[in-house]
Every structure is written in structure tokens, then in C-alpha cells.
Amino acid sequence: ENYILNNINKIKNIPVSIVQGRYDIVCPMRSAWDLKQSLPSSKLYVIDNAGHSMKEIGISKKLVELTNELANS
């Protein structure tokens, strides 16, 4: 429990983007918010009309967008 938050210092220098579905009941919004608060340099994207699955249109679009940004940097 809370492994990532308890070991946040190990990833503090890695760029992090958090993609969270607004209606995700598997990983509640609070988890994404706590991670964002622990990593102030991270970016949190809340996807409206999405739950947990990366197959949902909004989440897929954001993941592709972020992946393309990494590939072009």
C-alpha cells in the first residue's frame, strides 16, 4: 500500500504525466491527485467521459499525444 508515494524520491527527477479518467472506479481520482501533489513537476490530465480503460477514446487519444511528444523530443 502506498508503495509509489512512499518511494517517490526514486522517481522525482523523471518526467511524469498522469492520465486519469474522471469516472475511474478502479484507481480513484484521489490516487492521481496524491501522486500529483507528491511530484509537483508532474502533469495531471483528467479525461472527461472516461473510466479506467486505456481503450476509451479520450484516454487513448491523450496517451498517443503524450507518446508522440516523447518521440519528437
pLDDT in tens, 16-49: 999 999 999 999 999 999 999 999 999 999 999 9
Q: What is the CA radius of gyration of the chain?
A: 13
Residue 55's φ and ψ, nearest 5 degrees, are -80, -10
The average confidence (pLDDT) of the chain is: 95
Give the mean pLDDT of 57-66.
98
> How many other C-beta atoms can be found within 10 angstroms of the C-beta atom of residue 32?
19
* pLDDT at position 1: 85
* pLDDT at position 53: 96
Reduced DSSP (H G I as helix, E B as strand, rest coil) percent helix, strand, coil of the chain, to 5: 45, 15, 40
d(CA 72, CA 11): 22
Give the global pTM.
Answer: 0.89
Q: How confident is the model at residue 73 (pLDDT cuts 50, 70, 90)?
A: confident
